[in-house]
Each structure stands twice: as structure tokens, then as C-alpha cells.
Amino acid sequence: MSAIHQNVSTSLSASTSTFLAHNNLKSLKPSHVSVAGRLSAVVKCVATPSAEKTGASFLSLFNHFSILTVGAAFDEAYNTNVARNENLAKLQAGYLFPEIARRRNAHIAKNPDAKVISLGIGDTTEPIPEVITSAMSKRSEVLSTVSGYSGYGAEQGEQKLRAAIASTYYSGLGIEENDIFVSDGAKSDISRLQVLFGSNVTMAVQDPSYPVNILCFILFLLASLLSAANELLYRAYVDSSVILGQTGLFQKDVEKYANIEYMRCTPENGFFPDLSTVGRTDIIFFCSPNNPTGSAASREQLTKLVQFAKENGSIIVYDSAYAMYVSDDSPRSIFEIPGAKEVALEVSSFSKYAGFTGVRLGWTAIPKELHYSDGFPVAKDFNRIVCTCFNGASNIAQAGGLACVSPEGIKAMHEVVGFYKENTAIIVDTFDSLGFKVYGGKNAPYVWVHFPGRSSWDVFSEILEKTHVVTTPGSGFGPGGEGFVRVSAFGHRENVLEACRRFKELYK
Amino acid sequence: MSAIHQNVSTSLSASTSTFLAHNNLKSLKPSHVSVAGRLSAVVKCVATPSAEKTGASFLSLFNHFSILTVGAAFDEAYNTNVARNENLAKLQAGYLFPEIARRRNAHIAKNPDAKVISLGIGDTTEPIPEVITSAMSKRSEVLSTVSGYSGYGAEQGEQKLRAAIASTYYSGLGIEENDIFVSDGAKSDISRLQVLFGSNVTMAVQDPSYPVNILCFILFLLASLLSAANELLYRAYVDSSVILGQTGLFQKDVEKYANIEYMRCTPENGFFPDLSTVGRTDIIFFCSPNNPTGSAASREQLTKLVQFAKENGSIIVYDSAYAMYVSDDSPRSIFEIPGAKEVALEVSSFSKYAGFTGVRLGWTAIPKELHYSDGFPVAKDFNRIVCTCFNGASNIAQAGGLACVSPEGIKAMHEVVGFYKENTAIIVDTFDSLGFKVYGGKNAPYVWVHFPGRSSWDVFSEILEKTHVVTTPGSGFGPGGEGFVRVSAFGHRENVLEACRRFKELYK
């Protein structure tokens, strides 16, 4: 019996709806209950209960009703008259990771004894430092005490955490605690940013780039493809039927989608786009250190990007989720670039610093200086989005976040990051020693290995079949990733070493 | 020094941007860096660094740069060329709870020694049962172990939790584990439902109803007010300038907003709308047991609602967040009504059952039988929304959720709910004994007290000034709430007793 029905006494079997409990039927007046679907199936049921009847006799009525309903369902399913959201109806399914999973599973089925190692999806594998988990554990425990209990928190995050994030990651950069919006992770915040900007914006993304970001934005941008095509300042001609039809989201023979400016990042341009060929968009989505290429943009490059945004009046959505992996003097934050606060906001996360992929905690920093064309501060609208459509990150996760940015937590995060960077070095050295051109790795937990002239999926399959190691085909991140494979450094050390041993075996 | 910059050695003070560290400047080639805003302010800076210069001399350059930037900011702030989302630009600020907070603070300032008791906002006050917090604490701890660590979880929630929610709350109702989408709370899920349905839907809400729900939907509906006015099947004439202008969201002299069907719920109709006067909408938002009126719709009423939805081909978004407070035989789930699975989805939450308002955990149940007009299952699109724009609820909160629906957890939740229900009975008895007409309370933690002929805000002020108790004026929930005050039963027992003692003093 279900928990919430515990006050309802009934002798009917649990497989019947609890609405048939005898004491419930008194409220059903004798009447015709006509339940008709306007569009397809029509279900008509005549129920004439009286208060004297027993539960058992109503069970037979119920069965009659059920049969009628089920009968109708067999004839033709009922459909509401609500039109499916056309944006969703036209969006192709996400392709990359499901396809990898499909191939991985097929491989395991074919090779049941193989020890498959996954260096594919960028999911953390190492435990969360104890100094951080103990803070979350303690916060959980005090929630069972009168003095330690707390209910709704501020939607923007706990003030102490906002202040600590500002001072830890943006010291001296003019970002203050009220510019920080604590979130349940970057993916959710990117979705809230879409709601913020609405459907009439144009956007640019790096090519290659992480597919989810593109997917998220496309949901909203498809609307403007249909309704605001005239307003697009730059548009490579691609028939909208190709985009909105049955062709899939990352179709290899299409290099650019209308309304989305693909900024090609290749070894030739140092993985930084040639901005002279990039059209003006409202939003520029830029991830550095980059997933998947592992490259971090230099100070000079980011200065150019900020200048480009300023000349165009664009807003940069800067994803700095891998900033702590930077080893050289590349900026850790876009706000290190003078003037960036007027053209950029920054999304970040504890996921890859403290193993918080499952705990869910991140933040978005929006400077007061960032304004829409009418002078209205972007942060003010984002604050409203957060207050209306979010209720704050879990208080327990926030206690973990506060521990992350304590002196011991920062040290512990650097150890986590350091561990994955050692993995990265092992992978880089391996492919280096085999004569491959290897990119990334230095400032990010991703190694971007070049297989010139070969199809990414072919290489992916070759590696999977011959070494039982799952990687990610570069073309899954966009046409600019063709010919590359991404090897993730998230893995237990023994698995990384074993994978590299197998790579050496395959490509020696 | 910020954590992520620990690898950067610099002798500059922390108040300057770390980008000035000496070793960073080598990448800055001698060049003209021109940063110009197209729209308003123009900031031009000439920087001609060479690699030989010292950090100190660049500090002066930085200062020069800063002065230029700041100078420009003083002249005129830079604006991007990105248009503000017109929906947000036109939306009035949320009014109710900020206004209550303002009046509360003014009262405290005027009466610094008064012991103010809040029975206003519906936030839980009692500790989370230990059986639940200990599960979260344990889950936190094992995340620091190699064997217990887990990274990304399924976006839809952990399978065990989905199954447990389905069997606990929907036993025998035909809702299965894969119909359950675990969330970080009802508010977030309502926002995701907006994204799901898109901007071209029409909607109905109860009047009075909880303002956030309306706010959330309005964000999206304002678009259709502008673009799809012709498609509205029902529209009371209200000049759109009234709605979209400077009049505020809940202006008292406006009873209905265009494109939103207000379903009046009053004592006269048993707090259930007269559906014969309600126009057809795509979405019907329905909360039962209701916040703020505290009324639960009966089985007969909900049968009518389902029939109404079916006749119109509408989708009911049923908010059952207070279902465990039901004391009589009112349905705990819309799915207890035959046929509801074809026209309804249900949003719910552990917030008010286990004190999870800060922990953040809820769910949405979407039956496979719920289809759009083209026959496409709503759940399939929602699954995509969840996968694209959400990364699952915190794994620690989910461990708490699993403990909630264990046998001990269910017992403990009933004790929490029982405690608040005792509070409710005390409040109901108090106003009853004073001769007021009192509604709600029986099936919900809210008491809806009638002050016929009086303004809700006047009564709110009278109670605050004379008893130092914060309540909520009914008119803040919509015009149908005028003349009522909502008294929340969320409070420590001694506060509820003291508040009631003061009510008796005031209204004896």
C-alpha cells in the first residue's frame, strides 16, 4: 500500500486504484461520467454507483471501466490537443555519447572477457577529498537538529560561499560576492542562460566544442531560425530543411548551421579562431581550457576575443570549468583580460576540481558592468531567472563547496587536479613516443590526438576493437574535430597505465 | 592569492590583476590594443609592452589602462549590442513576498524589542528525521572512498529512487519507475516544463494560486501574448499594455490577464472552479491540496477536472506537493482518477514531507499515455529536456530521498507531517473559537482565514502591528484571495502557540 494512502482502509488488492476504496465512493453522485477525447479515441463510461454498494461490486464496475478504457487504447491511443513544441519536434537526438555507448556495448557483447577501459566521457573517477566530504556529512547531520536545521536558502547561493568563490577565483579582478550565482552545475546554468537571453539571439561556438552546449542553445535558437531569419547578421547559407529535417545534429557533410557561427579551432590556428572570418553574433560561447581540444587560449588570444566582442557588442559566455588545470600563464578567468567585465560572463563548476560531477555544484559570475543594449544589467535579469526558476543548490552541496574553497580544500583540490594531470602527462607521453601529433593535455585533462587523413570514427573503432579502450571520436564535437580522437585523463591510474600499454602495443 | 593562480609567481599586490605577472607578458607582442565599444562609450588604450620590461613598470601601464577604463565608465557605461529579452524586460517584479519582507522589516525597525513570529512564507522549520540525514551523511562519507565514489548519475535520477517513488506514491496507479523524473525540486521542474511546452501554449491557473508558478509560466507566455494573440481560444479583453506595462503582476483592479485563464476558487464553489465558465487552454495548472487555500479537491471534483481536460484536449500539470497532508479520502494523486494518465502529469517534492526545502529533491511523474496532438509522448520530450539542460539531482540528496521512502523514512515523514498538522489544528481551532470562517487546514499545512469585506493587506498589517505575527495577505495570491489571510502551520510549536495566544488577545 502506498505511503500516502495509509489513512485509507480498503480490502481491495493493491493492483486496483485506491480510488475504489469503499469510503471514497460516497462522493460519487449518480451521474453520467462522460470522458471523451476530442481528437481521436472516444471513451464513454456510464457509472451509477450508490452509497450502499460494496467495494467488491464496485470492483466489477471498475473492471468494466478499465475494459472500456483499455479497449479504446487498443483501438487508438488518446492524444491531447496540445501541439508538441516545434523546436523539440525538429531537434535531432543527441548523437555522440549514445552512439559511443552503443558501440561500446556491442563490443562488450562480442568480447565478453575483454577488460574494457573507458577514457571516453569526461567523468571523474577519484574520490572526493575527505576534508570536503566530511563537511557535507556534518552539514547533513546538523540538519537533524533544531539548532542546525535550515530550510529554503537564498536562490543565488549562501552568502559565505558566494564571497569565498569570489575571493578564491576572482581575487583582484573586480568580481564581488554578489556577482556570483551558485548553481547546481554548469549544464543547468547554461540552460538558465538560454532562458535569460531568449530565442531571438544569434550565437557562435567553437568548432569543435562540447555537444551539450550546442544542443542547449539550439533548442532556443531553432525558434529564431524560423521567425527571425531576416535579422541574422551573418548566415552561411544552409537550407533550413537540412537543419530542421532528418539529417541529424552533427551531420558530417554540413560544416555550418544557419544562425550558428562555427569558429573553427585547429592546429593551424593554434586552436584559436581566425576572428576576421567570424561573423557578428549576440552570444559567443567560448570554453577555455577547451573541451575537447585541451587547449587553453593565451592572454593575447583572449584579449583579441574581448576586443572582438566589444567591437561587435557581443556577450561572451566563457566556460572556465577546467581553469584549475592550467599549468602555464594562460588566464584562468576571462576577467583577467582588461575590459572583459563589460562583454563577458563566466560559468564554472567544482565538478572537475573536487569530483563533484554527482554532487552538483557550480557557479556563474556576471559582472555588474555587463549590460544589454538598453543599458540594463544582465546580472539583474539573471537574478530574476534564478529566483523564479530555481531554488538554490542543495545546502549540503554548498557546505561541500565552502570546504572546497577553504585553505585545506584548495590544497586538496589541487591534489585531485594534480592526479589527473599526471594521468594526462602519461597519455601525452605515450602518443608522443609513438610519433603522433598530440595537442592539449598541458592545461586540461583532455588529450587531442591527431590521426591526419583518417576518420575519427574509424580510429575510435580501431582503438576499441584492438585495445578495448573507449575514447571519443573528435568529429562528434563538430566538423573541426574530424581526424582527431579525444582521450580523457579521468581514470584510475592503473587503467590509464594499462590503456597506454595497449596503445603502445597497437601503434608501435 | 587566488587558488587557481597558485602556479603563477608574482610580486604584485593581490589587488592588481594577475595578468600583469611578469612571466605572462612575454606573450604580449608589441601591438596596438584597441578596445572600442560600438554603441556608447569608446575606450582606446595603446599598450606597447616589450618582453624586457619589469612587472613594476607594467603596473604603471596597468594603472594607466585602469584610469582610461574607469574614466570611460564615468563618462558613459559601455553597453553591448545584445537586446534584452523582451519577455524579461516587460515582466514586473514579484510583489508578494518582497513586500511582506519590506513591511516585516519596517515593523521590526519600529518595534525593535518585539518578538516577531513568522507564519508567513511556507518554509519548514523542523529538523529532518535522523534516519534520513544519516543516509545523506553516509553517502557523503563514502564519496571519499574509491569503492563508494560515483560521478555523473543518470539525469532522470537513480533507478532505485525512481522505482521507490513509483511504488510508494503511485502503487496500483499504473505509474512505473521510468515515468518518474527525479528533480532538484518542483520549482526547477516547473521551469523545465515551460521549456518543454514552449512559448505557444495557453494556460489556466487557480485563483488564488502560488505566485511563483504563475511567474514562471508568464515568462514564457508573454511571448505568445505578442505573437500569437489570434490563436487564443479564450481571452477576456484586457489591453496588453496593462499587462505588459508598469502595472505590476498582481494588480488588484485587474481580474484576468489575457492568455491566462484564471479559475476562481472561493468558499462559494468549494474552492473548485466552475468549469462551465473556464475557457479551453493547452495547460491547466492545478495544485491540490492547494497552496494557499489549504483545500484539497475531492475525487468527484478531480473527475470533473480530468473530464474537462479530456474534452478540451488539455494537459493538467498537477502539483501534489502537499499530498501527504491529506487527512480525508481526497485523492493524493491525480492518477487516482480514471483516465488521468492521458491528460495529466504530476509534480511533487520531498520539501514539505521531510523538511527538504534546502536539500532540494522532488520529482515529476509523466505517464506514457500522455501524448501531444500528434501522438508523440510528452515524457519522451521531457526526457530530452532533462538530459540536455539538467544533470540530475545531487547524489547526496538522492540518498536522502531513498531513505525517505524506506519504511522507517515513511514513518518519519508521517511524523513530520503529523507535527505540522497538529500546528494546523491549533491555528484552525483558534480562529474557529474567535468566530472566523476558517478554510483549509484539514488536508494542508495552510489555514485560510476569511475577513469578509476587509482588505487582505489591511488585515495583514493589523495582525503584524498588534501581534507581531507575519502572515500572508490572500490577495497576493490573486484577486480571488482578497479578504483572506493565509496562516502557515510551518513553525516551532511554541511559536504557533504564542501566535495563537496573541490572535486570541487581538480578536477576542
Say whether pLDDT at A77 is over 80: yes
Say whether pLDDT at B158 is over 80: yes
Q: Is B71 on the interface with A (CB under 8 A)?
A: no
Chain A residues lying within 8 Å of B341, measured CB to CB: none
Q: Is B30 exposed, middle or buried (0-12, 13-18, 19+ CB in 10 A)?
A: exposed
pLDDT at position B34: 35
pLDDT at position B259: 67
pLDDT at position B190: 87
Confidence of residue B209 (pLDDT cuts 50, 70, 90): confident
Say whether pLDDT at A19 is over 80: no
Chain A residues lying within 8 Å of B388, measured CB to CB: 94, 191, 212, 215-216, 219
pLDDT at position B39: 32
Q: B149-177 burial, b if ≥16 CB within 10 A, otherwise e?
A: bbbbbebbbbeebbbbbbbbbbbbbbbeb
Least confident of A249-253, A439-443, B377-381, B499-503: A249-253
Residues 477-496 of chain A whose Cβ lies under 8 A from any Cβ of chain B: 492
| Residue of chain A with shortest Cα separation from B66 | A338
Confidence of residue A256 (pLDDT cuts 50, 70, 90): low
* H helix intervals, B449-508: 456-467, 493-507
Residues 165-194 of chain A whose Cβ lies under 8 A from any Cβ of chain B: 167-173, 184-185, 187-188, 190-191, 194
Least confident of A62-66, A403-407, A474-478, B403-407: A62-66
Compare A181 and A203 and report the one with higher pLDDT.
Answer: A181
Say whether pLDDT at A264 is over 90: yes
Least confident of A357-371, A380-394, B50-64, B234-248: B234-248
Average pLDDT for chain A: 80
pLDDT tens string B177-192:
999 999 999 989 988 8
Mutation target among B25, B88, B305, B308 for the A interface, most CBs of A within 10 A:
B88
Across B251-257, average pLDDT: 48
Say whether pLDDT at B121 is over 60: yes
Compare A224 and B446 and report the one with higher pLDDT.
Answer: B446
pLDDT at position B360: 98
pLDDT at position B212: 53
Mutation target among B196, B298, B388 for the A interface, most CBs of A within 10 A:
B388
pLDDT at position A422: 98
CB-CB: which of B145, B298, B372 is closest to A79?
B372
Say whether pLDDT at B314 is over 60: yes
Strands (DSSP E) found in B60-164: 117-118
Confidence of residue A257 (pLDDT cuts 50, 70, 90): low
Inter-chain CB proximity B81 and A282 less than 8 Å: yes
Residues 6+ apart with CB under 8 A from B356: B124, B128, B349, B350, B397, B400, B404
Chain B residues lying within 8 Å of A341, measured CB to CB: none
Least confident of A70-84, B36-50, B429-443: B36-50
Say whether pLDDT at B275 is over 80: yes
Say whether pLDDT at A102 is over 60: yes
Residue B177 phi, psi (nearest 5): -55, -35
- Percent of chain B's residues with pLDDT above 90: 64
Say whether pLDDT at A93 is over 70: no
Say whether pLDDT at A220 is over 60: no
Confidence of residue B420 (pLDDT cuts 50, 70, 90): very high
Across B39-58, average pLDDT: 32
CB-CB: which of A143, A342, A372 is closest to B84?
A372
What CA–CA distance (Å, rounded) separates A237 from B249?
Answer: 42
Say whether pLDDT at A409 is over 60: yes
Least confident of A430-439, B116-125, B397-406, B426-435: B116-125
Which grid coordinates belong to A405?
Answer: 574553497
Compare A94 and A473 and report the one with higher pLDDT.
Answer: A473
- Percent of chain A's residues with pLDDT above 90: 64
pLDDT at position B242: 25
Chain A residues lying within 8 Å of B372, measured CB to CB: 79-80, 82-84
Least confident of A33-37, A323-327, B501-505: A33-37
Confidence of residue A49 (pLDDT cuts 50, 70, 90): very low
Say whether pLDDT at A107 is over 60: yes
Residue A314 phi, psi (nearest 5): -90, 165
Say whether pLDDT at A6 is over 50: no
Confidence of residue A92 (pLDDT cuts 50, 70, 90): low
Run of H or E including A206: strand A203-207
Least confident of A86-95, A105-114, A311-320, B128-137: A86-95
Compare A222 and B479 and report the one with higher pLDDT.
Answer: B479
Q: Is B198 on the interface with A (CB under 8 A)?
A: yes
Which grid coordinates belong to A69?
Answer: 478504457
Chain A residues lying within 8 Å of B150, measured CB to CB: 358
Chain A residues lying within 8 Å of B200, measured CB to CB: 83, 85-86
Confidence of residue A341 (pLDDT cuts 50, 70, 90): very high
Across B4-22, average pLDDT: 34
CA angle A265, A269, A272 (to 5 degrees): 50
Whether the Cβ atoms of residue B499 and residue B117 lie closer than 8 Å to each other: yes
Q: Is A30 exposed, middle or buried (0-12, 13-18, 19+ CB in 10 A)?
A: exposed
pLDDT at position B170: 98
Confidence of residue A97 (pLDDT cuts 50, 70, 90): confident
CB-CB: which of A336, A400, A414 is closest to B18?
A336
Whether the Cβ atoms of residue A145 and residue A325 lie closer than 8 Å to each other: no
pLDDT at position B408: 98
pLDDT at position A7: 38
N- to C-terminal Cα distance for chain A?
63
- Helices A395-404 & A407-433 angle (0-180, nearest 10): 80
* H helix intervals, A81-184: 86-90, 96-110, 130-142, 159-169
Say whether pLDDT at A166 is over 90: yes
Compare A485 and B45 and report the one with higher pLDDT.
Answer: A485
Residues 212-271 of chain B whose Cβ lies under 8 A from any Cβ of chain A: 212, 215-216, 219, 223, 227
pLDDT at position B52: 31
pLDDT at position A194: 80
- Cis, peptide link before residue A377, omega less than 30° from 0: no
Average pLDDT for chain B: 80
Residue B40: C-alpha distances to residues A231, A305, B67 (Å): 22, 19, 18
User: Position of cell 460494496?
Assistant: A54
Residue ranges and CATH numbers for the domains of chain B are 3-75 (no CATH), 90-126+410-507 (3.90.1150.10), 186-386 (3.40.640.10)
Compare B337 and A49 and report the one with higher pLDDT.
Answer: B337
Confidence of residue B91 (pLDDT cuts 50, 70, 90): low
Chain A residues lying within 8 Å of B134, measured CB to CB: 140-141, 144
* Total-model pTM: 0.81
- Percent of chain B's residues with pLDDT above 70: 74
Pairs of residues, one from chain A and one from chain B, whose beta carbons lie less than 8 Å apart:
492
- Percent of chain A's residues with pLDDT above 70: 74
Which grid coordinates belong to B102?
Answer: 519590506
